[in-house]
Every structure is written in C-alpha cells, then in structure tokens.
Amino acid sequence: MNDLTASSFAPLSDQQHGEAIARPSLSYWQDAWNRLRANKRALVSLYIIIGLMLFTVFGPVVWPIDPAIQDIDQISQPPGTDRTAILVSDYEPWFGTPGLPGTGLRLAERATSQAVRLQWDALDGANGHRLYRNLFPIGPELSYGIPMAEFLNNDTLYFEDRLDLQPGRFYYVVVALDERGLTTDRYQFISVDIDRVTTLAEALERGLIDESDSVQIGDAIALALHPLGTDYLGRDLLARLMAGARVSLFIGIGAPFLFVLFGVVYGSAAGFMGGRVDQLMMRFADFVVALPFLLFMILFKIAFGIGPGESGVFPMLVALVVLLWPSTARLVRGQILQIREQGYIRASQLLGAGTPYLIMRHMIPNTLGVILVTVTFAIPSAIFTEAFLSFIGMGVAPPTPSWGSMSNEGIKTMLTTPHELFFPALFISVTVLAFNLLGDGLRDALDARMRNVE
Amino acid sequence: MWLYILKRALQGIITVWFIATATFFAMHNVPGDPLTNDRAMTETTRANLESKYGLDQPITTQYLIFLRNLSRGDFGISFVQENREVNDIIREHFPVSAILGVLAVVFAAIGGVLFGALTALYRNRLPDYLIMFLVILGISVPSFVVAALGQLSLVSLNTLMGFTVLPVAGWGTVMHMLVPALVLGLSTMAYLTRLMRSSMLEVTSSDYVRTAKSKGVPPTRIFTRHQLRNAILPVVTVLGPAIAAITTGGFVVELVFAIPGLGRYFVEAVQQLDYTVIMGTTVFYGAFLVFMVILVDVVYGFIDPRVRLDL
Amino acid sequence: MTAGKENVDSGIPLLTVENLQVEFDTYGGTVQAVRGVSFSVDQRQTLAIVGESGCGKSVTVQSIMGLIPTPPGRITAGSARLRGHETLGRSTVGGKQIRGAEIGMIFQDPMTSLNPTMTIGDQIAEPLQVHRGYSASDAFTEAIRLIELCKIPEAAKRARQYPFEFSGGMLQRAMIAMVLSCKPSVLIADEPTTALDVTIQAQILDLMQELQKETGMAIILITHDLGVVARMADEVAVMYAGKVVEYGSADDVFYHSAHPYTVGLKEAMPMNDPARQHVLKPIDGSPPDLFAPPAGCGYCPRCPYAMQICSERQPQGHNLHGHHFASCWLHHAKSGRKPETIFFKDAR
Ligand SMILES: Nc1ncnc2c1ncn2[C@@H]1O[C@H](COP(=O)(O)OP(=O)(O)O)[C@@H](O)[C@H]1O
Ligand code: SF4
Ligand SMILES: [Mg+2]
C-alpha cells in the first residue's frame, strides 16, 4: 500500500471513463455467423454441402463419362481400379475331355468368363444328374442354387456353362437323380474362380484395342475404368451418381425454395389483409395441411402423368410445392401479426412508408432467420420424399437417374453386389445428415433467445 | 368435453370431404379416359363401371355419384380385378397394416420416451453421445435402406445360427412382425427421442423442478413425479403426425418384407393405375389419419389439466 | 421493524456465509458470477440482498441450497454454515435435510415455479411426505390447513386445483404455504414480489412478516426494490458484479450510505418519502463482463467518483463504525475525499 501516491487518487479523466463504458456490439447476423462458426458440426456440414454442390456441378467436367453408356464387360462390378481381361482365342465347342485326370466334379480347363467346362464321375447309384450353379456355398437349407442342366442317364458326365458369367467365385453342385428323376441326397460340389477373358474380335469391337496394337493371346487388356463400379446394366456408378445428384438436389433444394417463396407471399398477403380474407385464406391452408402428404404426392404424380421421354422431375416439384406451402404461410402470417402488434409498422406508416418498403424494412429481417431455418430443414425432407417416391416406382422415370431410383435398383441385388445400393444410399444419408445438422446449427445460431446465454 | 369432441369430429368430417374432393379431381385430371386405356378389361367390368359411375355423364354428376357412394361407405369396384370391391380389399388388407402400424407406434413411443429420457439424464456423457449418434443416423438414413438392412441382418442371423431364427419375409406369426415393425418404427423413434430429449432438458432446467429440488424432494421422485409427465406432453402432441408417418412408411416396409398389407396393395394399384382402388384407399387413409389426429388430441386433453379443464 | 440482534442459543449466528465464490463454465468462457461474498443472518432477522439483475444474488443463495447446476456451475471457495455446521456440498446438517426442512426457498415467478400438471395441494403436501413421513392423505389434509394459514379462501377446493387456475398472488401464497410446511429455520425469498402487482406485493410481504413473527425464522430477502428493503430489512447487503460492496444495518446503509453504487441505487429508485423527493437518476452503462473481471473496481466505469487507482486495483473492505462495511477506495486513508462529504450532505 505504500506505493500509493496522491496521483493514484486523482479523478479519472472523461476519456478514460468513456473507454471503460463502451463495449463492442455485434450485429444480429454477424453474431449468428460467429455462433455458427463455433459449432463444429454445423460447419463441417456446410463444407459437405458445398462439396456436394461442387461434385454435382463440376463432377461431370472431371469425369465426363456418359451415365447411360453400358459396359457389358463389366456388369455389377464392385468399385476397383485397372481391371484387365486376358485375350483368348475364339470360342470353340467342347463335348467333354475323355480321360481327364482327377475324380469327382472337376474343371476340364481354366474357368473363364467365356465358358466354364465341368466334368464329373457318375455318383453312387445315380440314374442321372442335375447340375446347379450358385453364388453362395450350400447353406443350412441345402439350397443348391439355379438348376443349369439335367441328364436323365449316366451317358453325359460333362457340362459347359456359358450363361451370363461374371468374374468372381461361383459354386457348382452336381446332384444324383433316382430312377424317377427325383433328386437324392447324394451330391458333390466345387467352387470355381472365373477369370475375365475377351477375344480379339470382341476387344476390337468394344474399342479396348485398335487395329494397330500388337497383342497376342494371353496378353492382359485394360478395361474401362469405373472407380465406384458399375450397376446391373454396366453403367458407370460415379457418372450416374453425379447425374442423380443433379436430379435429387434440384428437387431437394428447388422445391423448398419454391414452396417457401409461395408460403411467404401467401402468408404475408393474409397477414396484411387481415380480417375475413385472412380467416378464409388460413382456413384453406388448414385443409391443405390435412391432406395426407405422401398419398397426395403419389396422386398428383399420377394426375400429371409422365409422357414418353419425360423424366417426371417437374411434376414432382409442382406436387411438393402444392402440398408443402401452408406451414411457411402460417409461420410468416404469425410473424407479421406479431410484428404488427408490436407497432413497428404503425410507427413507420405514420412516416408515410409504402407497404413494399415496410415488408423490406421490417418483415424480412425479422422473419428471414426463421425462414432460412425452415428451408434448411425442408431440404432433407424433400430429398427423402424424392427417394421414397422413386423407390416405390412413382418418382423419376428411368433412365434418368436419381439417388432414389438408383437405390431402388440397387436393393434388388443387395445380397450379391451391395455397392449398387450402398453408394446412392450413402449419398442420400450424408446429404440429409448435413442439411439436418446445418439446420440445427442455424436454428441455434439465429435463436435470439439464446443470444446472451451460453 | 363432449362438445369439444363433437366439434372436432365435425371438423374431421369436413376435412375428409376436402380430401375426397381433392382426390376425385386429381384422379379426373389423369390423362386419358380410364376405360379406353389399353388395359385388358372385360365387358362385364366395363358395363358395371359405366353404369355405376355414370362415366358418360358430366363431371359434376360423376362427382355427386362419387360423394353419394362415399357417404354410404362404398368405395366402388376395382378396375383391374374383376368384380372385386374396394371395401373387400380394404377389409382384407388393412388389418395387417394396422397391426404392423400399432406395433411400430408402440415401439417408437416407448423407445423414444425411454431413450430420450436416458440421453437427457446422461447429458453430454457417453450414453447421450451414443444414442444421439444413432438417432441422427436413424433420421438421415432413408426408410427403404433401413428396411433393406433389417432384412440383410435377418439373412445373416439365420445363416449364422444355421436355422431360421426369424423369417426374412412374409406374414402370419408374431415372428414375422417383430423386425418389420421395428424397422418401421425406427425413424419415428429417432424423431421422438430427439423431441423427448429436448423436452426433458427443458423440464430439467425449469423453475418448477428447481422448486422441487429446493423442497428436498429426492431425485428419483422428482423424475417420476415432476419431470416425466411434463416432458411427455410434447411427445404426445406429435403422436398424430407420427402415426401418419408410420402409416405411409408402411408402404416401403410392406414392399421390402413382402407383407400383404394395404400399403403394398396401394402401391401395386398405383403401378397398375387401378383408379377406384387408388381413390378408395386414399380417402380411407385420409379419413383414418384425420381421426387418429383427433383421437390423439382428445387423449392429450385427458393428460394435460390445462387443456382438460379448458374443454 | 425492531433490529433484535440477539444471538439466542450459542452466540454464533444462525447462518453464516464466508468468502463464497462461484463460477460457471460457458461456451464464451468462465463466468465468475460470485466473487467472495460474506454475510450472516440470525433468527427473527431479515437480511436484504439488493443489486441490479445479473450481479449474482440468485447464484449466492442457490449455492447455499445446493441448487447450482453442476456442471456448468462450480463453487470454488468459501463456506456456508448453519448453526456452525457446513452446508456447502452437503444435503443434511445434524440429521436434518437442508433443503426443504432447514432452509426453504420461494422464487421470483410463481407462475413457472409450480409444476403445471400437479395439484396445488399435492405440491404443498410433498415436503411433508418427504421430510416428515406423512401419508399422502394426512399430508393433503395438512396442506389444506397451510393454505388456510396463508389466507387463501376456499382452501379445500383450492387444494385440488392446478397452478394455471390461480392468480400470481395466490400462487405466491401457495409457495409460501409449501415452504412453511416443514417449519424451516431460514426462508430465502428470491425477488418474491417482483412479478406481482403493487397491492399484492404488500400483502405478500405482510404475510411473510407475520409468519416470521410466529415461527421465528430468519429471512433472506432478495430484491432490487429499495422500498421493499426499507419496509422489511434489519440488515442490508448491497451486491455489485458478484461482490458485496456495502453491508450493514438497514439504517446505516440507507442513511449513511458509504458506497457510490448504493448512492446511485437510491437516486435511481422512487421513494415513498415525500420529504425526500428527488429527480430519478438512472445509473448509466451496464455492469462489467464477468467473463474477464476488471483489474480494479467493477463499478469504476460508471462511478462518478472514480479515481486513477480505481481502474487499477481492487478496493479493500473498510469497516466503518459497528459492522457497517464498504468496499471503496474513497475510504482509503490516503484518499483526499471523504464519502460523508460528497454523498448526501443533508444526511447527517
Ligand atoms: N446456469 C448458468 N450458466 C451460466 N451462467 C450463469 C448461470 N446462472 C447464472 N449465471 C451467471 O451468473 C450471473 C449472476 O446471475 P444471478 O445470480 O441469477 O443474477 P441475479 O442477481 O439477477 O439473481 C449472471 O450474470 C449469469 O451470467
Ligand atoms: S472504488 Fe472507486 S470506482 Fe469503485 S466505487 Fe469506489 S470510488 Fe467508485
Ligand atoms: Mg435472480
């Protein structure tokens, strides 16, 4: 205390005083933006959404593959890079190899996507055999797979499979038949790994090589690249996801913007006019709300009809707008009534401001936050609706891809080639997740009640 | 109270009329005449339909006929299946959907309240993070993917065990119902969990819970006597829309699990453009949903004293 | 208003709070809501805590009750002793529950402070069931008696009603009935009348005084209405930015105010005393940000008497006469100005 001097007790100057009183104050939007930036989940979601937009818009530039082109060498291929096919000589018929070494069900030569040549010895007490092919080993239910051939005597003990062969592992089962041609419980099975091959003629035809290339039997020929694999028609999944993103995001973002816009116009009209008109308008909105949403989406889709060559994107957009506007209209009307009551408007009306000006000056800033949050939450539900409708076959018409229709196709081959379902489903889920989290973040950031807490 | 119920019921009937009207005009906007479609239709069906709906008469007459039939509870005859009444179709397939739906709503409500309360109690701790992660997943993954995953896990389970623990598809026993109902209720459960969590948190930081604490009421009693009931109220108010979501979500689950419910039948009718079935089921579903919402509101009135005494 | 300052049994005050410090962790940082608060209160006495909202009054009393939500809250130092026994971090003293049984509390907003889905009677009966082991029906009967005691007409009917059927004043009476059910030795009232009409305010305050006379309980009354202080208080603690800046008997604090903030408060309050009519002068500015408490006196930016030292160092506490205490550099020996000479020259 001894260091205290008389000057310590001199009055504080006005300027020092002023500095001490002033505090930085942030505008509403700056404040909200700071809040949003502090929310890691929302920020990451925002980046994901920006990434998705880039993927949709610039993806086709980087990966200019036609999503409709079929690559019949690679059907339902999982993701992978640099696949090759071995060049083989042209196909020649085969009728068993006499004196083939080994016993039981066995391969006569290397199994290729051209042909799988199987030979076996007659099973004990068999009066004939039936041959099955399967993608799975024999399960607990003794499911052998698809019957491929049946021989009602023991003369033919070989079989050549040329049906729809894909590189990968197949399981073949030969089952002994009794004298009446019924299956017995005696069987043998073999697992076969099939290599992808191609002939010179095929390779030329598909443009994998050209005349000038010097290639020999046994050479490996590179096939077209499909980073995310192909679908059941051999179409490039990445290209289709990009094309599908255009449809899904167009509907997902376009519809909410349109119905919110319509809702804002309708709601502010009702709010401003007030009285009878307001009552009537809002009663109508109540009825529209009561319509069961998905059923009427379906109904409207039918009512619009899809002509040949149309994708059905536009009818879906219209149906979404027709059914979803009332919630925004209610919200905006409520806000406007509230603002009117608070007397902002009356004060400015006294100063002679016109109605459009009033809307610009007072409504928009006061309501924009809520509307922004509404749009953000409406996007995932619109994307879901598109996916749902496409899934039950009422959405976007093939061949136009959308994430929903791709999932619908993928689900049929879910057990054998899960990637065809996985990627579109992943894109839907990540997009919906990102918009949901961003919506949460925005709501928290814009919620004025929370401004001084936390 | 009774007056209130009566008023709501009247409102409900007007709403159903609106739904029916919208359905009628939407369907009449369909391009082409339903009877001159290239669809194979026998002479008997055609004759039946023409006389019954006055299809050669102006649209207002047709509308009046439609309304008259509707008021008698007659939804008409299928266009595709000869001489099959839509009422029969509904009577046959709706109970299946209803059982599935009720089971799903029960799963969703119990699960939502339970998990929501749990996350709020363990706020910002491991159970909260874990459940909320699953909830976010449940909200973000489309229903058909959940259904596919459900089926996939059933297949794996059966393969793993070496026998059929639970059937992968079909209908008939309780065993057939469990997984589809769970799958169907899942996204609603996720939604209710979120709602219950925020409602619980709000109640937990409410003034009256603070009052209860200041009275020295032990935590378990605060939870049961003060928090639970108040926190459940908002959950009850959204049960109506939740039932609607589950009903339409049933379409997908019924398709994927091959369940012979009305939803699957509706989707098939849509794909075959079976007009009367589409109109009939739409109006039926619409009426069902409207009255479920009213029912939920009335039940809410019994739970919340503020509303109960107001009615 | 007889300031009966008699230590009845043991010579120690009924409730003593010393150097209480409370923090909250928030996204914006740590808020030091209470920064070393001390006071004491005795049987049959009323202590008023006054100060602007946000200065830490509620946090102080809620700490004593163990009502601070933890996290985000944290009591970092200090003690609160009831009859010499520590209460912080404990739920019982001498085998008796602190909350509800030893200390009762009523809150500012009676509308939200009662459970909306439970009848008033049940809520009043609840402490009896919890602390006294009453059966549900006995507790309810007793609740009706308590409602009568708090002058609510038609008690039996009222007990079966829900909070939304009550007016604000009636609800606050019900709150008081609830708190009194277990005869606490201390009643904490956190702005009990702020939300009520003026006429109702007076009735509630009368009721509290009457009940204090009957039961001999101590009352800690939080308010920012100096009129209420003048009417009720024996002792006054003036809080600012998480600290007690002036403390003393009601007469001392009112008529010999020793802190610029107290003076500012008085000038900002309408007084019912016609002899002292004056122009209302609100205090400019707002309290300091408790995220980063100032190095010097928290009141410095708003204080008309601020000196160089005030912005640099925390003022020390100065005992004036008796137990009157103020924390302001003006009282320092080296300060050239004496408060008595600048505040209310008419006072003495
Ligand atoms: N739960 C909480 N979380 C964060 N900060 C809090 C919390 N409760 C109180 N505070 C902080 O403590 C300070 C004092 O609050 P309080 O005691 O309620 O003031 P009052 O004097 O008006 O009763 C406030 O400024 C607030 O920032
Ligand atoms: S210490 Fe200085 S700034 Fe603080 S109240 Fe006293 S005179 Fe004013
Ligand atoms: Mg307070």
pLDDT, tens digit (0-9, with 9 covering 90-100), for A174-223: 888 888 878 888 888 888 888 877 777 777 777 677 767 677 777 777 77
* Distance of alpha carbon A177 from alpha carbon A173, whole angstroms: 13
Matching residue, tokens 């009222």: C158
Question: What is the atom index within ligand 2 of the atom nearest the CA of C304?
Answer: 8
* Distance of alpha carbon A446 from alpha carbon A451, whole angstroms: 8
Mean pLDDT, residues C306-310: 82
Q: Per residue of chain A (454 residues), give pLDDT as tens.
A: 556 666 666 676 665 565 544 444 456 677 778 778 878 888 999 999 999 999 888 888 888 777 777 776 677 777 776 677 777 778 888 888 888 888 888 888 888 888 888 888 888 888 888 888 888 777 666 678 888 888 888 888 888 888 777 777 888 998 888 888 788 888 888 888 888 777 777 777 776 777 676 777 777 777 777 777 777 777 888 888 888 888 888 989 999 999 999 998 898 888 878 788 888 998 888 888 878 888 888 888 777 766 666 677 888 888 888 888 998 888 888 877 776 666 655 555 555 556 656 655 666 666 777 788 888 888 988 888 888 888 877 778 777 888 888 888 888 777 777 888 888 889 999 999 999 888 888 887 776 443 333 3
In this structure, what are the phi and psi dihedrals at residue A122, rounded to the nearest 5 degrees?
-55, 135
- C interface mutation test: which of A1, A8, A454 has the most C CBs within 10 A? A8
* Distance of alpha carbon B64 from alpha carbon A347, whole angstroms: 53
Nearest to B294 by CA among A290, A279, A295: A290
Mean pLDDT, residues B64-84: 77
User: Which of residues A191 and B40 earns the better pLDDT score?
Assistant: A191
Contact between C38 and C13 (Cβ < 8 Å): no
Tell me the two tokens of residue A440: 């949460």
Distances (CA, A) of C166 to B305, C116, C172, C205: 13, 11, 10, 19
* Distance of alpha carbon A243 from alpha carbon A205, whole angstroms: 27
Interchain contact B73–C (C-beta under 8 A): no
Residue B110 in this model has a pLDDT that exceeds 90? yes
Distances (CA, A) of A341 to B269, C15, C95: 51, 49, 56
In this structure, what are the phi and psi dihedrals at residue A438, rounded to the nearest 5 degrees?
-65, -40
Instruction: Write out the H or E segment, with its range, that includes residue C40.
Output: strand C29-41
* Distance of alpha carbon B209 from alpha carbon B227, whole angstroms: 7
User: Which of residues B175 and C156 earns the better pLDDT score?
Assistant: C156
Residues in chain B: 311
Residue B20 in this model has a pLDDT that exceeds 80? yes
In this structure, what are the phi and psi dihedrals at residue A230, rounded to the nearest 5 degrees?
-130, 165
Chain A nearest-CA distance from B49, in A, is: 20
Question: What is the atom index within ligand 2 of the atom nearest the CA of C259?
Answer: 5
Give the model's pLDDT for residue C345. 44
Residue C348 in this model has a pLDDT that exceeds 60? no
One-letter amino acid of A39: N
* Distance of alpha carbon B122 from alpha carbon A172, whole angstroms: 55
Mean pLDDT, residues B49-64: 72
Contact between A387 and A429 (Cβ < 8 Å): no
Residues of A with Cβ-Cβ distance to C286 under 8 angstroms: 23
Three-class SS of residue C132? helix
pLDDT, tens digit (0-9, with 9 covering 90-100), for C315-336: 888 888 778 888 888 887 777 6
Cα A443 to ligand 3 centroid, rounded to whole Å: 27
* Distance of alpha carbon C213 from alpha carbon B1, whole angstroms: 47
* Distance of alpha carbon A422 from alpha carbon A405, whole angstroms: 13
* Distance of alpha carbon A292 from alpha carbon B19, whole angstroms: 8
Give the model's pLDDT for residue A442. 84
Helices and strands per DSSP (H, E), number in chain C: 11, 14
Neighbours of A212 (CB within 10 A): 5
**Mean predicted lDDT score pLDDT of chain C:** 82
One-letter amino acid of A94: W
Q: What angle do the packed helices B86-121 and B262-271 form, to 10 degrees? A: 120
Residue B84 in this model has a pLDDT that exceeds 60? yes
Neighbouring chains of C at 3+ CB pairs within 8 Å? A, B
Contact A454 C28 (CB under 8 A): yes
**How confident is residue C4, by pLDDT bands cut at 50, 70 and 90?**
very low
Which chain A residue lies closest to C307 (C-alpha atoms)?
A11
One-letter amino acid of B205: S
Considering only the beta carbons, identify the residue of C284, C286, C308 that sits closest to A10.
C308
Helices (DSSP H) in A84-182: which residue ranges? none
Give the model's pLDDT for residue B193. 92
Give the model's pLDDT for residue A310. 67
| Angle formed at CA B272 by CA B269 and CA B273, multiple of 5 degrees | 80
Mean pLDDT, residues C23-49: 85
Neighbours of B172 (CB within 10 A): 11
Give the model's pLDDT for residue B108. 92
In chain A, what is the greatest distance between 2 CA atoms, to the nearest angstrom? 124
* Distance of alpha carbon B195 from alpha carbon B231, whole angstroms: 9
Contact C99 B305 (CB under 8 A): no
Contact between B281 and B250 (Cβ < 8 Å): no
User: Which of residues A221 and C300 earns the better pLDDT score?
Assistant: C300
Neighbours of B263 (CB within 10 A): 28
Considering only the beta carbons, identify the residue of C286, C289, C307 that sits closest to A8.
C307
Give the model's pLDDT for residue A121. 87
How do the residues of chain B divide into helix, strand and coil, expressed in percent and rounded to 5?
Answer: 80, 0, 20
Contact between B188 and B176 (Cβ < 8 Å): no
Give the model's pLDDT for residue B122. 86
Contact between C245 and C326 (Cβ < 8 Å): yes
Interchain contact C30–A (C-beta under 8 A): no
Interchain contact C69–A (C-beta under 8 A): no
Residues of A near B (Cβ–Cβ under 8 Å) read: 139-140, 287, 290-296, 298-300, 302-305, 380, 384, 387-388, 391-394, 404, 407-408, 411, 414-415, 421, 425, 428-430, 432-433, 436-437
Contact between C21 and C34 (Cβ < 8 Å): yes
- C interface mutation test: which of B211, B235, B306 has the most C CBs within 10 A? B211
- Answer whether 0.80 is exceeded by the pTM: no
Chain A nearest-CA distance from B282, in A, is: 6
Which strands make up the sheet holding C235-240, listed edge to edge?
C103-106, C186-190, C218-223, C46-50, C235-240, C243-249, C325-327, C317-319
- Cβ partners under 8 Å of residue A85, min gap 6: A73, A113, A196, A197, A198, A203, A208, A220, A221, A223
Three-class SS of residue A414? coil
Residue C126 in this model has a pLDDT that exceeds 80? yes
Give the model's pLDDT for residue A258. 92
Residue C2 in this model has a pLDDT that exceeds 60? no
Cα A389 to ligand 1 centroid, rounded to whole Å: 51
Mean pLDDT, residues B224-243: 87
pLDDT, tens digit (0-9, with 9 covering 90-100), for C265-274: 887 776 555 5
* Distance of alpha carbon C155 from alpha carbon C143, whole angstroms: 9
Three-class SS of residue A186? strand
- What region, left, alpha or beta, does residue C162 occupy, with left being phi > 0 and alpha being psi -120 to 50 degrees? beta
How do the residues of chain C divide into helix, strand and coil, expressed in percent and rounded to 5?
Answer: 35, 25, 45
* Distance of alpha carbon B25 from alpha carbon A299, whole angstroms: 10
Residues of C with Cβ-Cβ distance to B202 under 8 angstroms: none
Q: Three-state SS across C21-32? A: EEEEEECCEEEE
Which chain A residue lies closest to B145 (C-alpha atoms)?
A425
Interchain contact B252–A (C-beta under 8 A): yes
Residues in chain C: 348
Contact between C187 and C219 (Cβ < 8 Å): yes
In this structure, what are the phi and psi dihedrals at residue C313, rounded to the nearest 5 degrees?
-130, 150
Residue B243 in this model has a pLDDT that exceeds 50? yes
Three-class SS of residue A254? helix
- B interface mutation test: which of C26, C93, C96, C115 has the most B CBs within 10 A? C115
Neighbours of A201 (CB within 10 A): 9
In this structure, what are the phi and psi dihedrals at residue C21, rounded to the nearest 5 degrees?
-130, 130
Residue C105 in this model has a pLDDT that exceeds 80? yes
Give the model's pLDDT for residue B303. 79
Give the model's pLDDT for residue A366. 65
Considering only the beta carbons, identify the residue of C105, C118, C131 that sits closest to B214.
C105
Contact C116 B218 (CB under 8 A): no
Residue C143 in this model has a pLDDT that exceeds 80? yes
Residue A125: CA atoms inside 13 Å, Cβ hemisphere, count?
8
Residues in chain A: 454
pLDDT, tens digit (0-9, with 9 covering 90-100), for A310-353: 677 888 888 888 888 998 888 888 877 776 666 655 555 555 55
- DSSP assignment letter at A143: -
Chain B nearest-CA distance from A59, in A, is: 24
**How confident is residue C8, by pLDDT bands cut at 50, 70 and 90?**
very low
Which chain C residue lies closest to B228 (C-alpha atoms)?
C117
Exposed e or buried b per residue across B195-226, where buried means at least 16 C-beta atoms within 10 angstroms of its C-beta: bbbebbbebbebbbbbbbbbbbbeeeebbebb
* Distance of alpha carbon A209 from alpha carbon B244, whole angstroms: 58
Distances (CA, A) of C90 to A106, A246, C69, C82, C94: 81, 62, 15, 11, 11
Give the model's pLDDT for residue A308. 61
How many percent of chain C have pLDDT more than 90?
7
Environment class of C138 (CB within 10 Å of its CB; exposed 0-12, middle 13-18, buried 19+)? middle
